[in-house]
Structure 1
């Protein structure tokens, strides 16, 4: 599956399944401030597979929170069939739109970073970022080939060095063993 050329920007949400019959979709938010992002009239660049028919931009018609899940509807997508065609589409925004939050990182920025202990021992490499309702988790491919989910909180991840493309993880005892035991 080939994707259309990625516009400049960062992923702020990924569209999931349709909700209801009026064109609403669930989204996995990749922003710390969805209330500021999801408002009627907001325009998002899109990243979708070539030939999917997804427009290069979508304009938000409505947004609401339903049982801790964001439901969005877009202009020109009037029904469930149209909403189903959006599944998997990434909604993008420029980094400039996100403001100057020095503590904000995006999945595309972190991919490939080396993960080390506070003493410098290599643990692995970042392969993803899982955005959660309570906290985000780094997905790290450990040196033994297993994947670990590490809570992306300051107590466990005290340093992100963008220049060195390195993340320091001070994992509590047993955290990395959880991945190896599965």
Structure 2
């Protein structure tokens, strides 16, 4: 898939100090990504991305601390809190051999090893430890696939095809779910009336 715009790499969390430095919750595999770009873009609620020139960055307690030109105090950072942090897709470094960026894979056809068509890789969810792909079948049904190496056999960006080997039963779970079993109605039986107690000889 041709890169056409921006990719979200984090979110503005909170101010750090009083000189305009702010914490970013990073989604990037490596925080060093922020040291490779000269400009980041901040976006709120899908609005127009606002460019900010990067002056410095560093790691701090699992987050990235960023200092940008024109952001010089806590009040300005408070205005940015909660905004998405984007970079240009073309600014992404080249991946290692055999690796691919998910943004380049979106829109690819997904097939099984025998050529059976599954659907299109529509989007993904970021989870701790692994991503989850959302594959949309031609009938609109969604399939959630853990994006781990044992389930992804091949990625061909030139042909825009991804070959997968999903866990047994996963596709049926989403494409052919079993209807809920109907409970059998209970048979009604006539309740036995208690027999009257016979009086004993002593009564």
Give the TM-score normalised by structure 2: 0.63
How far 1:12 sits from its partner (Å)? Answer: 6.4
1:26 has 2:10 as partner: no
Equivalent residue in structure 1 for 2:105, among 106, 110, 124 = 110
SS of match in other structure, 2:152: coil
SS of match in other structure, 1:158: strand
How far 1:43 sits from its partner (Å)? Answer: 2.0
SS of match in other structure, 2:143: strand
Equivalent residue in structure 1 for 2:66, among 55, 67, 73 = 73
Deviation readout 1:100-150 (Å, 9 max, x if unpaired): 513332233112101111111111111113334312232211334232332
Please give the alpha-carbon distance, in whole angstroms, between the structure 2 residues aligned to 1:52 and 1:112: 23
Give the total of aligned pairs: 167
How far 1:161 sits from its partner (Å)? Answer: 1.1
- Give RMSD over aligned pairs: 3.5
Equivalent residue in structure 2 for 1:88, among 80, 84, 91 = 84
Deviation readout 1:28-55 (Å, 9 max, x if unpaired): 423x332x3244x852343747x96854
Contact preservation (8 Å) 2:109, 2:160: yes
Please give the alpha-carbon distance, in whole angstroms, between the structure 2 residues aligned to 1:70 and 1:178: 38
Structure 1: 5+ residue runs without aligned partners? 1-6
Please give the alpha-carbon distance, in whole angstroms, between the structure 2 residues aligned to 1:10 and 1:105: 16
Please give the alpha-carbon distance, in whole angstroms, between the structure 2 residues aligned to 1:179 and 1:60: 48
Deviation readout 1:58-99 (Å, 9 max, x if unpaired): 315333353xx5343332333242322x6123123635x613
Contact preservation (8 Å) 1:10, 1:106: no
Please give the alpha-carbon distance, in whole angstroms, between the structure 2 residues aligned to 1:13 and 1:54: 13
Please give the alpha-carbon distance, in whole angstroms, between the structure 1 residues aligned to 2:174 and 2:115: 21
Change in Cα spacing, 1:57 to 1:103, as seen in structure 2 (3 Å) is farther
Higher Rg of the two aligned structures: 2
1:122 has 2:117 as partner: yes
